[in-house]
Amino acid sequence: MEKIRLALLSGGISSEREVSLNSGTQVFEALDKDKYEITRYDPKIDLPKLVMDASNIDAALIILHGPFGEDGTVQGLLDLLDIPYQGAGVLGSAVAMNKLVAKRLYDGAKVPTPTYLSFSMNDRINIPEVVGSLGLPLVVKPACAGSSVGMTIVKLQEDLESAITLGFEHDDTLILESYIKGVELTCGVLGNETLEALPVIEIIPGDSHEYFDYEAKYVAGETEEICPARIDEPTRLKVQGLAILAHQSLFLKGYSRTDMILKDGELSVLETNTIPGMTATSLFPQSAQEGGYSFSALLDKLIQWAIEENKRTNLRRAR
Ligand SMILES: Nc1ncnc2c1ncn2[C@@H]1O[C@H](COP(=O)(O)OP(=O)(O)O)[C@@H](O)[C@H]1O
Ligand SMILES: [Mg+2]
């Protein structure tokens, strides 16, 4: 059988560049070299080469996180070049990247999320009013960022202003939402036509972390991850159902991973990641493993669905 000519995209220009390069290397190592002829591209420098090579590429794996990678921009370029790629298309990638738009779509699908307010850079923000409506602590997050970059958990009203200033250094739109103290869970969804929810993971950031911050996410040993999560059967089913509902509400494809908080038996969805971390020990590959898919089998599935999905996208081309 001829090998699939695969473009592996990692690096890029978002603040998650290093994470992406690391994931890219681990994905490269896990891919079956008997099945794939792999060329690596770093969108920071290699976009012209990618365009030139397009007619000799059978599929791409986008291992990029954050803006200019996970947000539909790279997906749009690949659509134009008619290169199949894994996971969400332009629409799903764009709406999931924007936490404000995602919240509106979650609302429409009755996916519960923390109470929130949103502000753009030119809005006048009445601090006491915000605190009155959301309570304390509250969370300030840039609408389009990932890996907890630019985020603050604000406990005191006098700290809100500087948290807002920091948030606006990362995006022109912010979400301010009620802080929910509970058990943090994340649940992967896998599939193209029929969706399967993977085993739920419980995330316990170490004592030195107030929440699942950048270091808790990426420094080995800083966070305990328990899979399957220590939750009862009805809660597990609820979490998995909600992960599937969140995936569908944002028009996603292939796979996703939804972060949630469980408090007093109630679930709140924080966000859905369309290109979850992809090192062998990242959350999504871990739960896929628990669900019976090795890291390389998971990659095979994603590539197979990418090629199938591309046929559907192609229906929109004029004949
Ligand atoms: N409303 C909230 N209540 C409690 N913790 C939160 C809340 N929002 C975010 N967090 C914490 O911050 C982390 C990152 O937030 P999240 O919305 O998942 O953004 P991202 O992972 O894209 O940076 C979460 O994993 C959680 O630990
Ligand atoms: Mg998250």
Phi and psi at 139, nearest 5°, equal -115, 130
Question: Is there a single domain that holds both residue 291 and residue 196?
Answer: yes
pLDDT for residue 217 is more than 90 = no
How far, in Å, CA of 240 to CA of 50, rounded?
A: 37
CATH number for the domain spanning 25: value is 3.40.50.20
pLDDT on residue 266 = 97
Cα of 204 vs centre of ligand 1, distance in Å, is 13
116 Cβ inside 6 Å of ligand 1? no
The winner for highest mean pLDDT among 13-22, 72-81, 209-218 is: 72-81
Question: Is there a single domain that holds both residue 51 and residue 68?
Answer: yes
How far, in Å, CA of 214 to CA of 263, rounded?
A: 23
pLDDT for residue 63 is more than 90 = yes
Question: Is there a single domain that holds both residue 133 and residue 260?
Answer: no
- Provide the annotated active-site residues: 16, 147, 218, 257, 259, 271, 273, 277
The HSE-up count of residue 31 (CA atoms within 13 Å, CB side) is 24
Mean pLDDT of 262-267: 97
Cα of 305 vs centre of ligand 1, distance in Å, is 30
Number of domains in the chain: 3
Residue 188 lies in a domain: yes
Residue 213 lies in a domain: yes
How far, in Å, CA of 163 to CA of 170, rounded?
A: 11
pLDDT on residue 245 = 98
pLDDT on residue 310 = 83
- How confident is residue 280, by pLDDT bands cut at 50, 70 and 90? confident
Burial category of 5 from C-beta neighbours within 10 Å (exposed 0-12, middle 13-18, buried 19 and up): middle
Q: What's the pLDDT tens digit per position in 144-183? A: 877 788 999 999 999 999 999 999 999 999 999 999 999 9
259 Cβ inside 6 Å of ligand 1? yes
Cα of 33 vs centre of ligand 2, distance in Å, is 32
- Ligand with the closest atom to the CA of 210: 1
Mean pLDDT of 255-278: 96
The HSE-up count of residue 218 (CA atoms within 13 Å, CB side) is 18
Cα of 59 vs centre of ligand 2, distance in Å, is 27
Question: Is there a single domain that holds both residue 241 and residue 103?
Answer: yes
22 Cβ inside 6 Å of ligand 1? no
Q: What's the pLDDT tens digit per position in 9-20? A: 999 999 889 999
Residue 313 lies in a domain: no
pTM: 0.95
Question: Is there a single domain that holds both residue 13 and residue 149?
Answer: no
pLDDT on residue 221 = 82
Mean pLDDT of 19-27: 94
Question: Is there a single domain that holds both residue 159 and residue 198?
Answer: no
Q: Of all protein residues, whose CA lies closest to atom 7 belonging to ligand 1?
A: 179
Q: Of all protein residues, whose CA lies closest to atom 10 belonging to ligand 1?
A: 211
Question: Is there a single domain that holds both residue 201 and residue 289?
Answer: yes
Its domain, for residue 123, covers 116-178
